């Protein structure tokens, strides 16, 4: 999260949550918990509660992160109930891990003072203006990410406690020279193998299932067919951008603003130059001598554009006689910049100027001093700025009125919308995963699905979605989460069962292939029966990105070929498809010094991460963990 903050404060939540857990761990012991709101907690760890609200917030933040990273691809995944179930299990697993670490930190007496938290926050560049902490900017960035100052401080405190725990327990890791050698050999090693892809779809078309089987599958996997908790809502969204679009700015108003803020629109000092570039190549002295020769020709009256077209090695500008167009100070390399702005009048030519790109000769083609641009050139920009300024003034005024009116008439938004001339929006059957796009935010989710909002069905307080958006929402109906009736999901259950059987058949077929991998006739017969292909992968590295990652990973776990025998293995991938791998050869290239240095630098932290994982495994084995669902 902190690096995201450095980039400008967007996605503020994401990195903090990731910082709290150093490594992702395998899911275990969570059962079928899917985040239903049947109780007030999601899990209990040694008697301490992880609340439903805390879980939902972490889940929504994870969804937002993945939506930002994967876009439409994630939207497709999100339509799969099994995927969403796994995503929720992963989020809950991380919260449980964090609770265990918090408890261990407290037991060891690891604590972070309020002053340390405050200093940490004040030192974050994301909250600084002109090098100093800006409280208004701090609150604005938190607000736009659905955080309060108290909650953010809690996250920072947790992050700092985790860091102290890791330093206390794991910072003493080191690696020996012989370990570097062994690790280097393992890292550099490549493997060559044959493989067969056995897709589950090869078997799906032939599978028949009875209604009785489908019903049994539904009964055993009801968590896959759960309808989420939903609400019906009315809401008013106040948007400064929409207000701005409705504001008419006259030419007189725009011109007045232009003259009152003339300093903001001053055009900078600029130069228009051409140049001849001779690149240094392998012999910089020869290049410099060639540039100096061209300089003498120019002094003797040679035409600059002609020489540039013939000799300049900046091919793009050479076609135009060396023309580089207009630029302002600070754009070009320092030496080039100084020479170009040092030329006094149009037509002047510099001496040879050296930069990292080579040797330049520069000719001044034009000069533009600082001046106001014509009004027509900046009119559109000024109109937009005036609209924004007026819109924000109106936005704050209407926000206050909206807040007062919704408080005065808490049981309806109709009159409020009419009095303020705002549009009342309605949405039915809204779940946490499908809020209307214009209000889809963590702040809105927390308010809409809060116990008070559902039970009282009154207008919410003003929810500031961003500095330019304010929302008031009222729940008008509620439907608790429940398992969908069999008749409604029969076809979905049937397809899921067929897919499960197809995956198993693909795996069984892969097992058959692996068992006869050393019997070419039987192996080929099985390939032909399912129209499968034997493919070759040569010199595959551990970090290969072209093949399925599970195939590569499994290939590196296989025993070395021995006595002319090549081990074979059948695996099932996360997609459900199966593969058969036959290991042909293990290749051991020489380990270079760069890899050794990389291992020396990175391996201690990897050892620390492994120790961290082992600590969590130990804490889990001793903990009393229960899940609500």
Rounded to whole angstroms, the Cα distance separating 72 from 514 reads 38
How many angstroms separate the Cα of 289 from the Cα of each of 276, 278, 313, 318, 321?
Answer: 14, 10, 15, 20, 21
**Token digits of residue 66:** 């993945």
pLDDT at site 21 = 28
pLDDT at site 596 = 65
Q: How confident is the model at residue 487 (pLDDT cuts 50, 70, 90)?
A: very high
Q: What is the mean pLDDT of the chain?
A: 84
Decide if 439 contacts 237 (C-beta within 8 A).
yes
pLDDT at site 2 = 30
Q: Is the pLDDT of residue 254 over 50?
A: yes
pLDDT: is 343 or 90 the higher one? 343
Q: Is the pLDDT of residue 509 over 90?
A: yes
pLDDT at site 20 = 34
Q: Over the stretch 550-564, which tens digit does the pLDDT of each residue have?
A: 999 999 999 988 888
pLDDT at site 110 = 81
pLDDT at site 29 = 33
pLDDT: is 432 or 28 the higher one? 432
Rounded mean pLDDT, 482-499: 93
* Region of poorest pLDDT, from 67-71, 159-163, 521-525: 67-71
pLDDT at site 605 = 65
Q: How confident is the model at residue 76 (pLDDT cuts 50, 70, 90)?
A: low
Residues 6+ apart with CB under 8 A from 204: 498, 499, 502
Q: Over the stretch 92-116, which tens digit does the pLDDT of each residue have?
A: 988 998 898 888 888 888 888 888 9
Q: How confident is the model at residue 282 (pLDDT cuts 50, 70, 90)?
A: confident
Q: Is the pLDDT of residue 584 over 60?
A: yes
Rounded to whole angstroms, the Cα distance separating 87 from 320 reads 57
Decide if 98 contacts 21 (C-beta within 8 A).
yes
Q: Over the stretch 39-58, which tens digit does the pLDDT of each residue have?
A: 468 899 999 999 887 887 78
**Token digits of residue 85:** 């179930």
Rounded to whole angstroms, the Cα distance separating 572 from 555 reads 13
Q: Over the stretch 383-432, which tens digit does the pLDDT of each residue have?
A: 999 999 899 999 999 999 998 999 899 999 999 999 999 999 999 999 98
Q: Give all domains of the chain, ordered by start, each with its CATH number.
A: 2-174 (1.10.4030.10), 190-225+486-587 (no CATH), 230-248+376-479 (3.10.50), 270-368 (3.10.50.40)
Decide if 272 contacts 365 (C-beta within 8 A).
yes
Decide if 4 contacts 12 (C-beta within 8 A).
yes
Q: pLDDT exceeding 70 applies to what percent of the chain?
A: 84
Q: How confident is the model at residue 19 (pLDDT cuts 50, 70, 90)?
A: very low
pTM: 0.51
Q: How confident is the model at residue 467 (pLDDT cuts 50, 70, 90)?
A: confident
């Amino acid at each position: 999260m902190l690096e995201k903050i450095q980039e400008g404060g967007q996605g503020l939540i994401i990195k903090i949550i990731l910082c709290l857990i150093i490594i992702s761990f395998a899911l275990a012991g969570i059962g079928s918990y899917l985040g239903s709101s049947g109780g007030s907690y999601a899990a209990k760890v040694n008697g301490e509660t992880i609340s439903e609200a805390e879980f939902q917030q972490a889940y929504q933040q994870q969804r937002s992160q993945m939506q930002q990273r994967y876009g439409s691809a994630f939207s497709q995944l999100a339509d799969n109930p099994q995927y969403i179930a796994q995503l929720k299990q992963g989020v809950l697993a991380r919260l449980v891990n964090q609770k265990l670490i918090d408890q261990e930190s407290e037991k060891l007496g690891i604590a972070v003072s309020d002053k340390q938290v405050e200093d940490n926050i004040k030192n974050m560049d994301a909250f600084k203006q002109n090098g100093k902490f800006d409280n208004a900017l701090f609150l604005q960035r938190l607000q736009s990410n659905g955080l309060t100052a108290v909650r953010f401080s809690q996250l920072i405190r947790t992050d700092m406690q985790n860091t102290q725990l890791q330093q206390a327990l794991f910072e003493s890791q080191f690696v020996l020279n012989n370990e570097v050698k062994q690790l280097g050999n393992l890292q550099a090693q490549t493997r060559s193998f044959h493989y067969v892809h056995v897709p589950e779809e090869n078997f799906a078309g032939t599978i028949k299932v009875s209604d009785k089987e489908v019903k049994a599958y539904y009964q055993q996997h009801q968590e896959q067919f759960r309808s989420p908790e939903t609400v019906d809502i009315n809401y008013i969204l106040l948007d400064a951008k929409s207000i701005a679009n409705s504001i008419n700015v006259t030419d007189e108003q725009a011109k007045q603003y232009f003259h009152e803020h003339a300093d903001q629109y001053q055009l900078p000092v600029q130069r228009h130059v051409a140049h001849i570039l001779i690149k240094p190549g392998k012999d910089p002295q020869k290049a410099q001598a060639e540039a100096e020769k061209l300089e003498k020709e120019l002094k003797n009256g040679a035409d600059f554009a002609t020489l540039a077209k013939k000799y300049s090695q900046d091919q793009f500008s050479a076609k135009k006689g060396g023309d580089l167009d207009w630029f302002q100070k600070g754009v070009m390399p320092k030496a080039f910049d100084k020479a170009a702005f040092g030329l006094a009048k149009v037509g002047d030519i510099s001496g040879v100027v050296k930069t990292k790109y080579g040797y330049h000769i520069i000719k001044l083609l034009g000069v533009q001093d600082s001046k106001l641009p014509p009004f027509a050139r900046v009119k559109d920009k000024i109109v937009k700025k005036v609209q924004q300024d007026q819109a924000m003034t109106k936005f704050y005024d209407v926000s206050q009125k909206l807040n007062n009116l919704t408080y005065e008439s808490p049981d309806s938004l109709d009159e409020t919308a009419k009095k303020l001339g705002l549009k009342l929006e309605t949405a039915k059957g809204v779940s946490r995963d499908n809020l209307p796009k214009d209000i889809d935010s963590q702040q809105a989710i927390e308010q809409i699905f809060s116990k008070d909002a559902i039970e009282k069905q009154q207008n919410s307080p003003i929810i500031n979605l961003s500095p330019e958006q304010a929302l008031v929402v009222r729940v008008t109906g509620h439907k608790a989460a429940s398992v969908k009736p069999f008749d409604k999901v029969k076809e979905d259950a049937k397809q899921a069962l067929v897919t499960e059987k197809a995956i198993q058949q693909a795996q069984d077929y892969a097992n058959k292939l692996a068992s006869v991998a050393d019997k070419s006739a039987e192996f080929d017969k099985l390939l032909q029966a399912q129209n499968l292909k034997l493919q070759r992968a040569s010199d595959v590295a551990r970090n290969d990105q072209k093949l399925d990652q599970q195939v590569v990973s499994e290939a590196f776990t296989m025993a070395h070929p021995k006595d002319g025998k090549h081990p074979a293995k059948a695996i099932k991938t996360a997609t459900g498809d199966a593969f058969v791998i036959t290991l042909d050869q293990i290749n051991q290239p020489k380990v270079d010094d760069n890899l050794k240095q990389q291992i020396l630098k990175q391996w201690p932290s990897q050892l620390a991460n492994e120790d961290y994982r082992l600590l969590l495994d130990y804490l889990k084995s001793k903990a009393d963990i229960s899940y609500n669902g």
